[in-house]
Amino acid sequence: MTDATSPSRFPSNQPPGPPRPSSQIPGRDDQEWGIMSLGDHLEDLRKRVMWALVGVIPIFVVAFASGRFLLNTLITPARNKLLAGGHGSSLLATGPFETFGTVVHLAVVVTILLGSPWILYHLWKFVSPGLYKHERRVVYILIPFSGILTVLSMLFLYFVILPVILTFFITYGSKVSGQPNTPTAPLPAGIVLPTVPILQADPESPTLGMTWINESLMQQRIVIAVDPETQSPTIRTIHLTTDQGIIQQYRVSEYIKTVLNMGLAFGIAFQTPVVIVMLGWVGILDPRAMGKYRRYAIAICAILGAFLTPADPLSMVLLAGPLYGLYELGLMILRVFPISRVIGDLREQQDLDAITPDDDHSK
């Protein structure tokens, strides 16, 4: 058994001892770490970076091929809320390369998200030989936990926060100018206004020249051509909007950029339990002491809710509430799983890790 002065990166009541040579540091594999020169480290880093980049190229190809589907998925909430607010449901592209550039931007972000496990794996393979065994055990717990929180943050943003934000701002913009006072007058003699049928869905077999209003889409639709072989109609549309002074129609690039920036902010904010657990395990935070500062935690969550959302009251509350819940989750994990329970008794762990094959053979 080794002495009790083995180096540790976790809090310990033991006095610091003299440094050991790399071959005697418990929990480290000298064949991977201790005997590598600086050149070997740089060569290993170069290989890890190369393999990480090569591994994400197929992900980018698939993401780019699915770019239009992903783009349609992200703009669907905006189209639905614009339609419900009495606006046209189409987004604008004001430049010839705007839609293509947006798809490329979206494919890059998706590649980073989906390829992050592969990238983290090679990062882990580079740094793990320099970590203690009990530190590796902590990383094995925190990385999957962080991944789950990231996925939850994206789902929460898409299904909860984004519809609320869009509803608020579309409704607010629609009410800025108010309803105009449109004058009315009797029809002149001999004038008969045409009547356009209002339908909930398109007719099954429209013929050339037919026109109708699709109420579910808020469009007037006109058949301008019919394929003689397949009899499939070519339909052009006119978007129907409410009589407002400000019509909202978003640029696709600006909308996607906003959504992706919010996704990044929410992904970082949802790492609160990971940060709290990590700081608690290294001895910086005491869960019992932190429980006394709940009022400050609520204030910080409210500030983050205002900073990470467009500052409408409802979306602020919808984000601040889950953030405070994540704060309490981190404290609960610290109480239920203290570091001594995760890695065992530190002195015993170091003693067991320090037993070399030669020590065991000598017994």
The residue among 35, 36, 45, 27 whose CA lies nearest residue 135 is 27
Report the distance separating Cα 8 and Cα 178, nearest Å. 67
For residue 76, what pLDDT is reported? 94
Residue 331 gets the label, from left (phi > 0), alpha (psi -120 to 50) or beta, of alpha
The mean pLDDT of 46-54, rounded to a whole number, is 89
Higher-scoring residue by pLDDT: 27, 266: 266
Mean pLDDT of the chain: 80
The residue among 61, 192, 56 whose CA lies nearest residue 119 is 56
For residue 179, what pLDDT is reported? 65
For residue 104, what pLDDT is reported? 95
Q: Say if residues 186 and 171 touch (Cβ distance below 8 Å).
A: no
Percentage above 90 pLDDT, the chain:
29
pLDDT of 156-212, one tens digit each? 999 988 998 888 888 877 676 666 677 889 999 989 998 999 999 999 989 999 999
pLDDT of 64-85, one tens digit each? 999 999 999 999 999 999 988 8
The residue among 276, 242, 284, 277 whose CA lies nearest residue 86 is 242
Report the distance separating Cα 292 and Cα 326, nearest Å. 16
Q: Residue ranges of the domains in the chain?
A: 198-239, 271-363
Buried b (16+ CB within 10 A) or exposed e, 227-259: eeeeeebebeeebebeebeebbebebbebbeeb
The mean pLDDT of 247-268, rounded to a whole number, is 89
For residue 92, what pLDDT is reported? 92
Task: Please tell me the least confidently modeled range out of 85-89, 242-246, 275-279.
Answer: 242-246
The mean pLDDT of 227-235, rounded to a whole number, is 92
> Is a pLDDT exceeding 60 seen at residue 132?
yes
For residue 357, what pLDDT is reported? 42
CB atoms within 10 A of CB 277: 25
Higher-scoring residue by pLDDT: 342, 330: 330
For residue 33, what pLDDT is reported? 45
Q: Which residues contact 152 (CB under 8 A, 6 or more apart)?
A: 270
Q: Say if residues 301 and 323 touch (Cβ distance below 8 Å).
A: yes
